[in-house]
Structure 1
Amino acid sequence: MEQRIIIEMGMGNDLHGMDYQKAAARAIEDAIRHSTLPIFDSIKLSHNDMRVQVTVAVQEPDKIDPEALTSGLPRGRAHVSVVKGGLNIPNPETGDTAVIATAAVEAFLPSQAGKWVQA
């Protein structure tokens, strides 16, 4: 059985290029910059024991390459899912559309129940 040990949310955008991949990568980077997991060094856990589930939301999910986003994650066994969400904000004066992506990054470990003793 796995237990979720962390969930972080992030937001990223591409203001002028309407590049969903860039916005999604920035959303993931924003989420993982908010966390650190010292537990791995503290109790000698391997990062390979961690499963990382990323969910990215953009208005046009088919324009995302999930494998490319997976390769940018620094630790664990990662999987990226893409769903419809985020925002497209058109600028009628310039014709540009700002793309806003959101991301949730979840980390799971095998159950640690009974492995820790309070001293």
Structure 2
Amino acid sequence: MEHRIILELGTGNDLYGRDYTKAAKRAIQDALHHSSIVMFKSLGIDHTEMRVQVTIGVQQPDQLDLEALTAELPRGRAEVSAVKGGLDVHDAQNNQTHVIATAAIEAFVPISTKDWKLS
């Protein structure tokens, strides 16, 4: 049975290009830089056993390149999905829209209840 071992959050932006994928990549990197999963080596767990689920929120989820975002993840079997979220902040005076993306990264590993007691 898989159990979530980590949940990291991040934000990213593209202030001038209105590039949702660029903002999402920055959100993923922000989240990744908040965590260090040292337990794999310590417990002898192969990182390929980890499933990584990433949810990206932007105002126009259909504009995301999910394949490029999946490539941002250095470990585990990655799945990236897009939802409506984040922010578009429009500057009418300068006719500019700033894109803000949010990322939630969840990591799951199979843990046998015979070997571990979860509380």
SS across alignment from 1:98:
strand
Give the 5 Å matches for 1:68-83: 68-83=68-83
Please report how far the alpha carbon of residue 113 of structure 1 lies from its aligned counterpart in structure 2 after TM superposition: 2.8
Please report how far the alpha carbon of residue 115 of structure 1 lies from its aligned counterpart in structure 2 after TM superposition: 2.3
Q: Is the 8 A contact 2:53 2:106 kept in 1?
A: yes
SS across alignment from 1:45:
coil
The letter for the 1-side match of 2:6 is: I
- 1:57 and 2:60 equivalent? no
State the Cα deviation string for residues 50-100 of structure 1 (Å, max 9, x = none): 000000000001100111110110000000000011100001111110000
Distance 2:35 2:6 in 1: 8
Q: How many pairs align?
A: 117
Please report how far the alpha carbon of residue 49 of structure 1 lies from its aligned counterpart in structure 2 after TM superposition: 0.5
SS across alignment from 1:36:
coil
Distance 1:98 1:89 in 2: 5
- 1:37 and 2:37 equivalent? yes
- 1:93 and 2:100 equivalent? no
RMSD of aligned alpha carbons: 1.2
2:115 aligned residue: 115
Give 5+ residue unaligned stretches, structure 1. none
2:15 aligned residue: 15
TM-score (norm 2): 0.94
The letter for the 1-side match of 2:18 is: M
Give 5+ residue unaligned stretches, structure 2. none
Please report how far the alpha carbon of residue 112 of structure 1 lies from its aligned counterpart in structure 2 after TM superposition: 4.2
Distance 1:10 1:71 in 2: 17
